[in-house]
Amino acid sequence: MQDLTGGQAEIEVRGSTVRDIIAELDRVHPGVKDWLAEGNRLKPNFSVAVDGVVSPLGLLQDVEDDSEVHFVAAISGGRVD
């Protein structure tokens, strides 16, 4: 994401849900929403962690004023024997 944020690793924005956070990030750094979401869902290759807990609610996950939100690229691959 740092390509979209001018190299910033951490950005402070406000929002009450992950959807709000993404909308605000996109306002400040256009292109973030298209990179993270498809329609009303997080893209399948991303997970979101709020305060260190990966959320199954995706964009609907509530966020507190002091929450840390991390977008995590899904890891896949490997070999099954």
Tens-level pLDDT at each residue, the chain (81 residues): 667 777 777 889 999 999 999 999 999 999 999 999 998 899 998 999 999 999 999 999 999 999 999 998 877 666 666
Residue 49 lies in a domain: yes
Q: What is the pLDDT of residue 4?
A: 74
Burial class, 48, CB count within 10 angstroms (exposed 0-12 / middle 13-18 / buried 19+): buried
User: Are 21 and 63 in contact, with CB atoms under 8 Å apart?
Assistant: yes
User: How many structural domains does the chain have?
Assistant: 1
Q: What is the pLDDT of residue 43?
A: 93
Q: What is the pLDDT of residue 2?
A: 66
What range does the domain containing 53 cover? 18-73
Q: What is the pLDDT of residue 67?
A: 95
Q: What is the pLDDT of residue 17?
A: 96
Pairing of strands 41-42, 37-38: antiparallel
